[in-house]
Amino acid sequence: MEAHPEPPGGPPRATHPPARARLRTVLRTVGSSALLVVLYLGRPLDRPTPATLVLLLSGLVLLVLLLGWQVRSVVGSPYPVLRAIEAFVTATVLFVVLFAAGYASLSDAAPGAFTEPVDRLDALYFTMTVLATVGFGDITPVTGPARIVVTLQMVCGFAFAALVGREFLAAVRRAQDGRDADDDSPAPGSPDPRA
C-alpha cells in the first residue's frame, strides 16, 4: 500500500459529523422537546389574566436570554450545524409551549376569551395555526387580552423566524470561518506563506 502524506497543518478535518454526534443531537433534541411538552401538559395553568400575561412576557425574556446563550454555543461547537439545528428546534418548541400555556390560561380565566373553550391540546393547535399563519377560523380570540396575546405571538413569530434563523446561520458561518482561518494559519515553526 502506498502511504499518502498528511496535508500541512495536520490531518484533514471532518466535514460531516460522525453518526454518533448526529444520534446524540437527535436524542437531545427529542428529549428536550418532549420534556417541554410534558411540563406544559403537567403544570397547572389556572392563573388570572394579568398573571398569565406577566408569566408569558417573563417566558419570552427567558427565551431571548436562552437564544443568546445558544448562539454562542453554536459558534464554539465542533459541529455548529448540528448545534444550530438542535437549538432552533428546542427554541421553537419552547416558543410554542409558552404561547399555548398563555392561551390555555386565558381560556381558563375567562371562558369567553375565544370562540370556544380552549384546553391544552386546543391551545397547542391554535398556537401552531397562528405561527404557521394558517388561521382556519375555528378558534378565534374574542376578548381584548386574548387578541393582545395573539397579536404578540404574530409579532414575535415573525421576529423569531427572521432574526433567530439569521442569527443561527451567522453563528454557523462564524464557527466555520474560524475553523477555516485556523486551517490556513501556518504550523508552529513553519514560515508564513503570506509573508
> Which bin fits 166, alpha (ψ -120 to 50), beta or left (φ > 0)?
alpha
106 versus 11: the higher-pLDDT residue is 106
Provide the pLDDT for residue 193.
46
d(Cα 164, Cα 147) in Å, to the nearest integer?
Answer: 24
pLDDT digits (tens, 9 = 90+) for 94-122: 889 989 988 988 888 888 999 998 999 99
Q: Kindly report the number of other CB atoms within 10 A of residue 3's CB atom.
A: 5
Helices and strands counted in the chain (H then E)? 6, 0
More confident residue, 144 or 194: 144
pLDDT score of 12: 41
What average pLDDT does the chain have? 78
Task: Output phi, psi for 114, to 5 deg.
Answer: -125, 165
Q: Band of the pLDDT at 6, cuts 50, 70, 90?
A: very low
- Residues 13-58 have pLDDT tens digits of 445 778 888 888 888 889 888 888 888 887 766 666 676 677 778 8
Percentage of the chain modeled with pLDDT above 70:
79
Query: What's the average model confidence in pLDDT over 178-184?
Result: 61
Whether the per-residue pLDDT at 176 is higher than 80: the answer is no
